[in-house]
Structure 1
Amino acid sequence: MITHYLFPAIVERNTLSGRYIVVFPDLPDLICQGETPEDAFHQAELSLGMHLYHMEKAKKQIPEASDSANWPKREGAEIIMLEADTLMVRQDVDKKSVPKCIMIPRWLKELGEENDVNFLEILRVGIMDELGIPD
């Protein structure tokens, strides 16, 4: 499962508002802005992660990042590369715990309870380990 992405974007200053606009030609529904170049960069990085996370949840195809070398851009515009980790977004957004029923032999349940075993923590850590997700 891919969770780490790198996308090019175009950042330019809007001459009317003075704000910095960031567009992602590979993701036409995603446009961000900020008061300063740093603010625009930060907002674009956050928005990219959320946008890709929602695409994953909706089971939409995430496009491959295109080669930005031949993109048309206005004078003063720059191409920047932005990273997004949808696993980190998922961990920040989906914090709600949900029930998951499992069956184990009675003897194992009783032995675990006698030894104060935290069944839920073992299950959570085991699943994360199986998926290669650091704790």
Structure 2
Amino acid sequence: MITYYAFPALMECNALSGRYIVVFPDLPDLICQGETRESAFHDAEISLGLHLYHMEKDKIHIPHASNPASWTKGEGAEVIELEADTLKVRQVIDKKRVPKCIMIPKWLKDLGEEHEVNFVQILMEGLMEELGIPD
């Protein structure tokens, strides 16, 4: 399961507004801006993670990052590299707990209850291990 992405983007200062604009040629629906270069970069990084998270959730194909050398750049535009981890975005956004009904043998349930086993914790840890998700 891919959850880590790196995408190049173009950042340039808008001559009229003085704001910094960030565009992602590989993700044309994603455009960000900020008052300063740093705020534009920060906003673009957060927006990239959210955008890719929603693409995954909606089962929209996420393209491979293209080579910025082939892009047409305006005067003063610079290529920046941004990273996003959609697993971290999921962990922040989808904190809601949901019920999951499972069936186990009665003897196992009884034994677990006798030993005060936390069934939910064990299930979560097992799922995370199975999916290769770090704690």
- TM-score (ref. length: structure 1): 0.98
Residue 76 of structure 2 aligns with which residue? 76
Residue 25 of structure 2 aligns with which residue? 25
Residue 15 of structure 2 aligns with which residue? 15
Counterpart amino acid of residue 122 in structure 2: I
Residue 88 of structure 2 aligns with which residue? 88
Q: Could you tell me how far apart the structure 1 residues matched to 2:74 and 2:130 are?
A: 48
Q: Could you tell me how far apart the structure 1 residues matched to 2:15 and 2:82 are?
A: 24
Counterpart amino acid of residue 44 in structure 2: A
Residue 107 of structure 2 aligns with which residue? 107
**Consecutive unaligned residues in structure 2, runs of 5 or more:** none
Q: Could you tell me how far apart the structure 2 residues matched to 1:119 and 1:2 are?
A: 28
Shift of 1:42: 0.4
Runs of 4+ with deviation above 2 angstroms: none
- Offset from partner CA, 1:10-33 (integer Å, 9 cap, x none): 000011111100000000000000
Counterpart amino acid of residue 72 in structure 2: P
- TM-score (ref. length: structure 2): 0.98
Q: Could you tell me how far apart the structure 2 residues matched to 1:21 and 1:86 are?
A: 23
Residue 133 of structure 1 aligns with which residue? 133
Shift of 1:67: 0.4
Shift of 1:74: 1.1
Q: Could you tell me how far apart the structure 2 residues matched to 1:62 and 1:74 are?
A: 26
Q: How many residues align?
A: 135
**Consecutive unaligned residues in structure 1, runs of 5 or more:** none
Considering only aligned residues, what root-mean-square deviation do their CA atoms show, in Å?
0.6
Counterpart amino acid of residue 94 in structure 2: D
Shift of 1:70: 2.2
Residue 116 of structure 1 aligns with which residue? 116
Shift of 1:75: 1.2
Counterpart amino acid of residue 120 in structure 1: V
Q: Does residue 48 of structure 2 align to residue 48 of structure 1?
A: yes
Counterpart amino acid of residue 8 in structure 1: P
Counterpart amino acid of residue 56 in structure 1: E
Counterpart amino acid of residue 123 in structure 2: L
Counterpart amino acid of residue 124 in structure 1: M
